[in-house]
């Protein structure tokens, strides 16, 4: 007999499951419930439609109900909310929203892909703020866009510096609105570490966005015309975007007695089955295993939702497929820059007490002599002993996505930092250098592990300065005009061998240059002449 599969949620995870189910089984009965009016829309495009770079609303609708029903022979029911799972009799209770009528629908397999919803904490005044929006779906988008089109706000406050907050800041700015971005932490873009986010802080401030860090919202006043911060600051505004994160839509699963993780995500096994094996769950609603450290986590992104949806369809059809965890590869455009990361960041490794080594380099996106090359700030985290790659982060104007994708592939391929120099990447001047930034990261990592050089980190410098340590700037004198570390002496690399007698043999010498390369060369010279030496990782650029 034909299987009957019921799917809750008709967008990334749900629609993908449905499509693959049909390709695998022409006979299956497939019912997809979606409480909204639209299915299969481009969540990720919403900010850009508001900002105007996506001009056609239709472009956001990847599949229509009609088109998808026809192509995949699906029973798609929109405006239909699944309000209960009746596991004992394998049915769901559905409420048809326009009529408020409820009915039961039976299933052999149930697939939950209900997504996540924007967090909206009970901040005083939030319910009266009639200019406050969250962004998750098409109706939210329509509301925000209509508000901008008709009310023509001059000022906006975006609360939350995650990727949706930052994308919205940019897109409101594109509309000519004066934007203030408020973030509780000391940095935006949590997937990268502080010193990487600092590059973005500078960039968005340069663009004219007012960025307030380490401050949260205490209250909304005057129907949202005043945002009051914990610090006491008040901001006048015409509109507010609240984007402080999402929480899994796991209420339905919870009420049905399915196991839920600590942070609210539905628990699943490697086949993406919940604690009830005939119920699968995917997407933003679930808890996943961190691919690098094995801990439970939540990664509300589109790639996992799509991947998981297909795996579920395969597993329902008897195929032996597994989901091996999520790396959390993520990327965002931040005005003219790109920020991307994969795997674990330093904050996570510290929190878990994992021993790691770190490097920062600033290679050009492609050959420096070919027009349009910009440095990429690239950070790599790895195991000092095994060379295992824990994670990578990059910020720059060009070529950031490529390097993070290569590193994400390396991680999934089980490659270590020792393998990175051997990656034979495509080189011609418009695209890369004969040693690609990823190769370079591999060289630098290998040198650290093989003790060719020891490094110190940007956050250790001030302490050294205070202690009056011997700090040597090996850049050309002219480069110091743009700034240098206080109390550092200047011996350009080319003169170093002749001026060794100016340096102490009894204490550690801290060398630095602009990005770390000449500092490394200096360190090699000094080490081999019997000096104790450490190089400033990432150079003055990462430090400053």
Ligand X SMILES: CC(C)(COP(=O)(O)OP(=O)(O)OC[C@H]1O[C@@H](n2cnc3c(N)ncnc32)[C@H](O)[C@@H]1OP(=O)(O)O)[C@@H](O)C(=O)NCCC(=O)NCCS
Ligand Y SMILES: Cc1cc2nc3c(=O)[nH]c(=O)nc-3n(C[C@H](O)[C@H](O)[C@H](O)COP(=O)(O)OP(=O)(O)OC[C@H]3O[C@@H](n4cnc5c(N)ncnc54)[C@H](O)[C@@H]3O)c2cc1C
The yes or no reply on residue 326 touching a copy of itself (CB under 8 A) is: yes
Q: Strands across the sheet with 533-536, in order?
A: 455-456, 533-536, 509-512, 470-473, 489-490
Nearest to ligand Y of 263, 497 (CB atom): 263
Which residues neighbour 535 within 8 Å (Cβ) at sequence distance 6 or greater? 453, 454, 455, 456, 510, 511, 512, 516, 519, 520, 522, 523
Least separation in angstroms between residue 401's CB and a copy of itself is: 4
The yes or no reply on residue 252 touching ligand Y (CB under 6 A) is: yes
Three-class secondary structure of residue 84 per DSSP: strand
Nearest to Ca ion of 147, 397 (CB atom): 397
Report the alpha-carbon distance of residue 31 to residue 18 in Å, rounded.
8
Three-class secondary structure of residue 372 per DSSP: coil
Nearest to ligand Y of 146, 428 (CB atom): 428
Strand partners, 158: 181, 241
Which residue among 9, 14, 304, 399 contacts Ca ion (CB under 5 A)?
Answer: 399
Least separation in angstroms between residue 263's CB and ligand Y is: 15
Question: Going residue by residue from 450 to 489, which x/- string records binding to a copy of itself, judged by CB under 8 A?
Answer: --x-------------------------------------
Q: How many CB atoms lie within 10 A of CB 502?
A: 11
Query: Quick one: which segment of 52-60, 250-258, 459-467, 505-513 binds a copy of itself (CB under 8 A)?
Result: 52-60
Which of ligand Y, a copy of itself, Ca ion, none lies near 365, with the C-beta cut-off 5 to 8 A by kind?
Ca ion
The C-alpha R_g of the chain, in whole angstroms, comes to 27
Least separation in angstroms between residue 361's CB and Ca ion is: 17
Nearest to ligand Y of 313, 453 (CB atom): 313
Q: Is 423 exposed, middle or buried (0-12, 13-18, 19+ CB in 10 A)?
A: middle
Report the alpha-carbon distance of residue 164 to residue 171 in Å, rounded.
10
Buried b (16+ CB within 10 A) or exposed e, 260-277: bbeebbbbbeebbbbebe
The yes or no reply on residue 245 touching ligand Y (CB under 6 A) is: no
Report the alpha-carbon distance of residue 97 to residue 133 in Å, rounded.
23
Which residues neighbour 132 within 8 Å (Cβ) at sequence distance 6 or greater? 126, 220, 224, 239, 240, 241, 242
Least separation in angstroms between residue 524's CB and ligand Y is: 23
Which of Ca ion, ligand Y, ligand X, none lies near 364, with the C-beta cut-off 5 to 8 A by kind?
none
Which of Ca ion, ligand Y, ligand X, none lies near 443, with the C-beta cut-off 5 to 8 A by kind?
ligand X
Report the alpha-carbon distance of residue 98 to residue 41 in Å, rounded.
21
Which of ligand Y, a copy of itself, ligand X, none lies near 347, with the C-beta cut-off 5 to 8 A by kind?
none
Buried b (16+ CB within 10 A) or exposed e, 80-93: bbbebbebeebbbe
The yes or no reply on residue 497 touching a copy of itself (CB under 8 A) is: yes
Nearest to ligand X of 390, 520 (CB atom): 520
Instruction: Based on the residue annotation, tell me whether 513 is a catalytic residue of this protein.
Output: no
Residues 22-51 that bind ligand Y (CB under 6 A): 33-36, 43-44, 46-47
Specify whether the CB–CB gap between 169 and 158 falls below 8 A: yes
The yes or no reply on residue 162 touching ligand Y (CB under 6 A) is: no
The yes or no reply on residue 369 touching a copy of itself (CB under 8 A) is: yes
Residues 145-184 that bind a copy of itself (CB under 8 A): 163
- Using CB under 6 A as the binding criterion, the count of chain residues that bind ligand Y stands at 35
Least separation in angstroms between residue 401's CB and Ca ion is: 7
Angle between helices 12-24 and 302-316 (to 10 degrees): 30
Which residue among 332, 361, 441, 472 contacts a copy of itself (CB under 8 A)?
Answer: 332
Which residue among 429, 479, 508, 544 contacts a copy of itself (CB under 8 A)?
Answer: 429
The yes or no reply on residue 356 touching a copy of itself (CB under 8 A) is: no
The yes or no reply on residue 113 touching a copy of itself (CB under 8 A) is: no
Q: Looking at beta carbons, which pairs linking 184-188 to residues 24 or more positions away fall under 8 Å?
A: 184/214, 184/215, 184/216, 184/244, 185/161, 185/213, 185/214, 186/213, 186/214, 187/161, 187/213, 188/161, 188/162, 188/213
Q: How many CB atoms lie within 10 A of CB 207?
A: 16
Nearest to ligand Y of 327, 456 (CB atom): 327
Report the alpha-carbon distance of residue 201 to residue 129 in Å, rounded.
28
Least separation in angstroms between residue 138's CB and a copy of itself is: 13
Nearest to a copy of itself of 213, 452 (CB atom): 452
Angle at CA 149, nearest 5°, toward 145 and 154? 100
Least separation in angstroms between residue 14's CB and ligand Y is: 5
Least separation in angstroms between residue 431's CB and a copy of itself is: 4
Least separation in angstroms between residue 399's CB and ligand X is: 16
Strand partners, 364: 375
Nearest to a copy of itself of 23, 233 (CB atom): 23
Query: Quick one: which segment of 6-14, 67-75, 150-158, 470-478 binds ligand Y (CB under 6 A)?
Result: 6-14
Structure tokens at 432: 């890369």
Specify whether the CB–CB gap between 17 and 34 falls below 8 A: no
Which 3-state string (H, E, C) describes 187-219?
Answer: CCCCCCCHHHHHHHHHHHHHCCCEEECCCCEEE
- Using CB under 5 A as the binding criterion, the count of chain residues that bind Ca ion stands at 4
Selecting among 44, 302, 449, 517, the annotated active-site residue is: 44
Q: Which residues of the chain form contacts with ligand Y (CB under 6 A)?
A: 8-9, 11-14, 33-36, 43-44, 46-47, 81-82, 113-115, 135-137, 164, 249, 252, 283-285, 300-303, 305, 427-428
Instruction: Return residues touching Ca ion (CB under 5 A).
Output: 365-366, 398-399
> Which positions are annotated as active-site residues?
44
């Amino acid at each position: 007999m034909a299987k009957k599969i019921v799917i809750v949620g008709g967008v990334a995870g749900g629609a993908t499951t449905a499509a693959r189910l049909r390709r695998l089984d022409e006979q299956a009965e497939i019912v997809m419930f979606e409480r909204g009016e639209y299915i299969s829309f481009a969540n990720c495009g919403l900010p850009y439609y508001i900002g105007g770079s996506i001009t056609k609303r239709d472009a956001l609708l990847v599949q229509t109900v009609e088109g998808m029903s026809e192509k995949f022979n699906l029973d798609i029911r929109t405006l239909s909310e699944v309000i209960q799972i009746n596991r004992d009799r394998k049915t769901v209770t559905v409420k048809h929203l326009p009529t408020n009528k409820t009915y039961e629908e039976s299933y052999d397999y149930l697939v939950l892909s209900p997504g996540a919803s924007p967090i909206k904490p009970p901040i005083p005044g939030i319910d009266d703020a009639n200019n406050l929006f969250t962004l998750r779906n098409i109706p939210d988008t329509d509301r925000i866009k209509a508000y901008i089109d008709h009310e023509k706000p001059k000022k906006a406050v975006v609360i939350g510096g995650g990727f949706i907050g930052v994308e919205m800041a940019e897109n409101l700015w594109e509309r000519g609105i004066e934007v203030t971005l408020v973030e509780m932490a000391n940095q935006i873009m949590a997937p990268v570490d502080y010193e990487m986010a600092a590059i973005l802080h500078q960039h968005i401030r340069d663009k004219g966005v007012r960025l307030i860090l380490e401050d949260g919202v205490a209250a909304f006043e005057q129907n949202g015309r005043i945002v009051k911060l914990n610090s006491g600051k008040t901001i006048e505004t015409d509109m507010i975007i609240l984007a402080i994160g999402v929480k899994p839509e796991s209420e339905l699963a919870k009420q049905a007695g399915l196991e839920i993780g600590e942070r609210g995500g539905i628990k699943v096994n490697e086949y993406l089955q919940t604690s009830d094996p005939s119920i699968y769950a995917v997407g933003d609603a679930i808890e996943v295993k961190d691919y690098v450290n094995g801990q439970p986590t939540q990664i509300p992104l589109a790639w996992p939702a799509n991947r998981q949806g297909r795996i579920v369809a395969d597993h329902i059809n008897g195929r032996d497929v597994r989901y091996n965890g999520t790396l959390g590869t993520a990327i965002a455009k931040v005005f003219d820059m790109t920020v991307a990361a994969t795997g674990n960041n330093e904050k996570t490794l510290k929190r878990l007490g994992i021993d790691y080594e770190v490097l920062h380099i600033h290679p050009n996106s492609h050959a420096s002599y070919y027009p349009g090359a910009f440095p990429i700030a690239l950070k790599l985290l790895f195991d000092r002993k095994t060379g295992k790659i824990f994670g990578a982060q990059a910020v720059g104007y060009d070529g950031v996505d490529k390097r993070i994708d290569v590193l994400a592939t390396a991680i999934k391929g089980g490659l270590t930092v020792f393998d990175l120099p051997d990656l034979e990447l495509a080189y011609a001047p418009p695209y890369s250098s004969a040693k690609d930034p990823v190769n370079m990261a591999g060289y630098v990592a290998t040198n650290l592990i093989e003790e060719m050089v020891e490094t110190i980190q940007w956050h250790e410098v001030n302490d050294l300065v205070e202690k009056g340590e011997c700090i040597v700037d090996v850049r050309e004198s002219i480069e110091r005009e743009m700034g240098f570390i206080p109390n550092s002496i200047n011996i350009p690399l080319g003169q170093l061998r002749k001026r060794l007698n100016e340096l102490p043999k009894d204490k550690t010498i801290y060398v630095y240059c602009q990005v770390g390369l000449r500092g490394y060369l200096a360190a090699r010279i000094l080490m081999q002449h019997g000096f104790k030496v450490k190089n400033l990782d990432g150079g003055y650029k990462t430090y400053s």
